[in-house]
Structure 1
């Protein structure tokens, strides 16, 4: 695959997260609680990816490898739990901006762990993304009470855990087939969610039957697909560019809110969506140019 193919895969993975807010609102309107929605999302997501796993290529690996992948799945589960706590204390618009800080945190991770210092172009791209996120979340035109500092901390924890999940999906056990790897990551996430939200809904037939349609959709787009797509694309593009591409989440969420939920979206929000897309494209273009220059240098060195 070409570099942009892997970038597109990660972009789609980020877009999957943007779908979730719409399905969550439908689930809440069906009188389902947050613990039921969160638990159902991870339960059905894990079941879906394990079913896919049955029909794919498998390799044997050690107990240590299994343990690493299960532990690496914990940040996937923690992200939803932290974000839910943030939403309990903050307006949704402000909570998503705190979560959106993963854009620059991913670059910091890349700098610390991979020794990749961010370029000026990448810093410009991140700045555009952050400005776009504030506009898309409609914070500028909102008036409200003083934000809760506890909610801000939970939001930042969600951003850090999300960055960690993206980073680990691209760095841990790279040689394991993506579906097999995603199944273990999802299982790790499921374990931590069930530990904090005991799955009582599994023993209540009426709740489970009501939850199933929403759980399947949330599980597909929130648990099964993202780790799988990140496992395919992240090893080839790195967490720095990866977290920029995952910013596709917010434009998708805003667009679906407008066309599916029929919510009013202001012109400033659409400007924010446009800025986010510009930031994503500019970050990817600069990365591709850098790769081309590096490739050309290798060819010249070989010829000499």
Structure 2
């Protein structure tokens, strides 16, 4: 498989996250709580990944490797927990801006852990993405923005844990089959979520039956697919470029909110979507040998 194909796979993984906000808003409008929605998302998502494992041929992994991958799923679960906490006191458009900071945090991680100083091109790409994210979130079009200290801290923590998850998915368990790796990653996330949000709704059949359709969709796009796609693509492109590609989540969120939720999207927001896509393309234009160099360096971490 060629490098651009791995990059496309990671890009699609980011798009999956962009679908979540629309589904969550639909679930909330149906009067389901954060605990019910989050719990259903991870329960159904983990179930889907393990069902997929049953249909794969190669299923073996050492106990040590399985434990390392399971631990790597912890920041995956924490991202959901922190982000939902941020949404308690921040508007959705502002909360996603804090989460979006994973774009530059990922480059910082690559600099610190892989000793790869960001190029001028990558810095430019990150700058374009941040400008685009501000426009796409509608912050320029709004006269007042409600900002809380607690929400800001939770939002930044979600960005940090999401970056950590991307970093680990690119470096841990490289020889593990992607489907099996995804199953262990999502299981690690599920453990964290169940500790924070005990699944009491499981004993309430009417609630369970009602939230199940939302849980299945959220589980597919928020738990099952992203770790699988990242497990396939990230080891071949590195976390620095990977975080730029996962920026695709924001434009997808804006587009779906306009098409499905019929939310008003201003001209400046559409401009932000276009700028983000330009930033992603700019960050992905690299000589092939440089990208392969990143892939070779990440192989040393497992």
Is the contact between residue 57 and residue 177 of structure 1 (CA under 8 Å) also seen in structure 2?
A: no
Once the two structures are superposed, the pairs formed by residues 145-160 of structure 1 within 5 Å of their partners are 147-160=147-160
| SS at 1:173 equivalent | coil
The answer to whether the aligner puts 1:42 opposite 2:54 as a matched pair is: no
Work out the CA distance in 2 between the residues paired with 1:96 and 1:193. Answer: 20
After superposition, give the CA deviation of every residue in 1:57-109 in whole Å (9 maximum; x if it has no partner): 22433222121111100111100110111111111111111110000000011
Q: Which residue of 1 aligns with 2:270?
A: 270
Residue 56 of structure 2 aligns to a residue in which SS? Answer: coil
Corresponding residue of 1:185: 185
Q: Which residue of 2 aligns with 1:230?
A: 230
Distance 1:129 1:53 in 2: 36
Question: Is the contact made by 1:100 and 1:159 (CA closer than 8 Å) also made in structure 2?
Answer: yes
Name the TM-score, length of structure 2 as normaliser. 0.94
What TM-score, normalized to structure 1? 0.94
Shifted more, 85-94 versus 153-162: the winner is 85-94
Contact 1:121–1:286 (CA under 8 A) maintained in structure 2: no
Gaps of 5+ in 2: 294-302
Relative to structure 1, is the Cα distance of residues 67 and 271 closer, same or farther in structure 2, using a 3 angstrom cutoff? Answer: same
Cα deviation for residue 145 of structure 1 reads: 5.5
Preserved CA contact (<8 Å) 2:139 2:145 = no
**Post-superposition shift, 1:142?**
1.4
Structure 1 distance, partners of 2:289, 2:171, is: 23
Matches within 5 A, 1:1-304: 1-144=1-144, 147-286=147-286, 288=288, 290-291=290-291
Cα distance change on mapping 1:131 and 1:181 into 2, 3 Å: same
- In 2, Cα distance between equivalents of 1:77 and 1:120: 33
Write the distance in 2 (CA, Å) between the matches of 1:59 and 1:50.
11
Q: Could you tell me which residue of structure 2 aligns to residue 302 of structure 1?
A: none
Aligned position for 2:299: none
- Structure with larger Rg: 1
Determine if contact 1:93/1:137 at 8 Å carries over to the other structure.
yes
- Say if 1:98 and 1:156, in contact at 8 Å, map to a contact too: yes
SS at match of 1:117: coil
Alpha-carbon separation, structure 1, partners of 2:110 and 2:249: 20
1:26 deviation in Å? 1.0
1:25-80 deviation line (CA, Å, top 9, x unaligned): 11111111011000000000000000000000224332221211111001111001
